Structure 1
């Protein structure tokens, strides 16, 4: 299934439609049961759901509207399994003591990463400071093995705020889980390397997340450097895919600033995931996601060419949400 998702990604709409139709036709012929069909559709990235009504109307095998709710439920159950990202397993090494909670991505583990985690505050100071405010500190650091990484520290705004965050997921945990959610949804993001919480029992003082560093440009910089702000078709398509994906799974990013979209080799990566939230209510999600879209629109207040470029996309998503045709 990973192969079909990757094969579809660079294709144009008409090519995607044809490729998906062939894939679904073959899958239904091999496994004709309704349950097998739901499994096949749920394994597709949500970005491709918009093509499915036309495909099912053409093959006249099953009514897609009767499958849509089941596909949504199957995906939600799959995403619930991501909660194991805070437990020791084959993918992540988890260690816990009175004073800290730590997760390391086993596939990215190294001596240099362990050394960084032992003196993470010193690493932040030694690195290139990208952001420093009361809530967060972000640093670009070069580890001993030469790998450049992003270290993000979430600072307690006050003792009361620290206690409150200790009762729910720390922002580092939200960010860590959010990256795994995006990967499952087919949205690119810098890969998690490690997460750390400095604690006193259950009381979290500071939390940290370490990710790979992307060498790409922010979407705002990318647009301003393109002639007449006509970004390449595959970048625009990536943005379109991202915008239609979130409503399919009722997950909101929480901050569509242009600096949170990174363009790297014609791919669009999303960063700053600590405000991501999963919703149960379609109505509440709709309001939250419309605020995300409004935030994206405000990026281009002083960039009229970019505003004209993204206007059709913004309007399409608003219409889609207002007509409630995504998950209705």
Structure 2
């Protein structure tokens, strides 16, 4: 079997050790950095006694993708935009193509820096400084007529105080060395700013101060905001789609009898739980043992998890449920939607449906356990106590996030909102809906609003306070 065939058939675990013969000499793979099965591989290699970055294109159309990478890198270099040095490219013996680049030892992406921040709250000085670095470099690209169409913090590398642009495949020269138009700038900036949680949107103009110092253009804030919303919605739909198919972030296994989606990074640690979730429920005291659902708490490698099984109560119940996605499926998507939007909810780890071909039966949802105190207990049942300032701020912020995202919870009992680590967390997402129009959103929101207020006695100080403060829309 040729090396190309071996790599094409290797799935997510390409062989190690592995040596690739290049015109520059043999390249010994030290580690695989990214694997798109059967399509593209990225590796740190040793070639000619130096550490290099090697990109291998192994699918049909390899020449086209390789050339796009090269064209993008050369466009950056032609405009003196910092990018790793291109050392070679071309076809491989036996098929496929390669790009060989300088390897920036100990470089970190801005995404890694972002993830390591103590706070990513809007306006945090360190977070603002990191974003300013990215915006300054984007401004220099725009001034040179270049755009990065896959604009996110992971495509910037910081190495020895120098910021580099990577992923030449997504770099395009739109105006041959001339500055981009205002509309082109807005469209490209929207891609970057839409990566941030929506609560950052109010600071967009402040963030752009750094950009405008390097590329003074006349931006339209209203149009930029609209573009950000469009980009964020596209990203959200693409992300939700990934949660249901086998990809880098998620492992999906389906058969005639079973469908299972799991966060790939959790696959090894919760493998035994996925194989038999009912065994864990049987071994632990239950948090809830109702007719429609059974909820239990278990520990896996020292981490507390919650298992929720959605039961089928009888043939009549099954006839209503078998033809549509299960409540576990719905809750899985709802939880990932909230996480994507920066709304606190226990991390969804896995979802399982029991099936007979296309027909669905019981289902399970596995999430992290949130050790918070529910708001009925935190605020008291009699409604005589008003929220402390910290809780007030977090509660009103949550409701504002839901309004902005046009999300209704569907069961706003105070026990479904938990106070934990300075945030109000949402749980029990079975009835959650994202509304695409005002006609469905307005009545759903009013039901949520009134249901939450009814957790406390009519006329009580807390009920009156909530009625005054919660958004009416």
Normalised to the residue count of structure 2, the TM-score between the two structures is 0.57
Query: Which residue of structure 2 lines up, in the alignment, with residue 75 of structure 1?
Result: 232
Query: Structure 2 residue aligned with 1:211, among 357, 360, 367?
Result: 367
Would you say 1:36 and 2:193 are equivalent positions? no
In the TM superposition, 1:51-200 aligns within 5 A as 61-81=218-238, 82-110=240-268, 113-143=270-300, 145-200=301-356
- Quote the offset at 1:200 in angstroms: 1.3
Choose between structure 1 and 2 for higher RCO, CA contacts under 8 A separated by at least 6 residues. 1
In structure 2, the CA distance between the partners of 1:302 and 1:103, relative to structure 1 (3 Å rule), is same
Unaligned runs of 5+ in 1: 322-328
In the TM superposition, 1:309-328 aligns within 5 A as 309-314=465-470, 317-318=471-472, 321=473
Q: Distance in 2 between matches of 1:192 and 1:237?
A: 26
My pick for the range that moved more, 190-199 or 41-50, is 41-50
- Quote the offset at 1:47 in angstroms: 2.9
Normalised to the residue count of structure 1, the TM-score between the two structures is 0.80
**Conserved 8 A contact 1:223-1:229:** yes
Query: Which residue of structure 1 lines up, in the alignment, with residue 42 of structure 2?
Result: none
- Quote the offset at 1:171 in angstroms: 0.8
**Conserved 8 A contact 1:76-1:249:** no
Q: Distance in 2 between matches of 1:16 and 1:309?
A: 30
Secondary structure in structure 2 of the residue aligned to 1:275: coil
Q: Distance in 2 between matches of 1:231 and 1:51?
A: 27
- Quote the offset at 1:108 in angstroms: 2.2
Query: Which residue of structure 2 lines up, in the alignment, with residue 251 of structure 1?
Result: 407
Query: Which residue of structure 2 lines up, in the alignment, with residue 46 of structure 1?
Result: 198
**Conserved 8 A contact 2:294-2:308:** yes
- Quote the offset at 1:36 in angstroms: 2.3
**Conserved 8 A contact 1:194-1:211:** yes
- Quote the offset at 1:238 in angstroms: 2.2
**Conserved 8 A contact 1:189-1:269:** yes
Q: Distance in 2 between matches of 1:48 and 1:241?
A: 13
- Quote the offset at 1:253 in angstroms: 2.2
Q: Which has the higher strand share?
A: 2
In structure 2, the CA distance between the partners of 1:44 and 1:99, relative to structure 1 (3 Å rule), is same
Unaligned runs of 5+ in 2: 1-109, 143-181
Query: Which residue of structure 2 lines up, in the alignment, with residue 283 of structure 1?
Result: 439
In the TM superposition, 1:257-272 aligns within 5 A as 257-272=413-428
**Conserved 8 A contact 1:254-1:288:** yes
**Conserved 8 A contact 1:279-1:285:** yes
**Conserved 8 A contact 1:45-1:186:** yes
- Quote the offset at 1:307 in angstroms: 2.5
Cα RMSD (Å)? 3.5
Query: Which residue of structure 2 lines up, in the alignment, with residue 223 of structure 1?
Result: 379
In structure 2, the CA distance between the partners of 1:265 and 1:247, relative to structure 1 (3 Å rule), is closer
- Quote the offset at 1:302 in angstroms: 6.7
Q: Distance in 2 between matches of 1:86 and 1:34?
A: 32
In structure 2, the CA distance between the partners of 1:64 and 1:159, relative to structure 1 (3 Å rule), is farther
In structure 2, the CA distance between the partners of 1:37 and 1:115, relative to structure 1 (3 Å rule), is closer
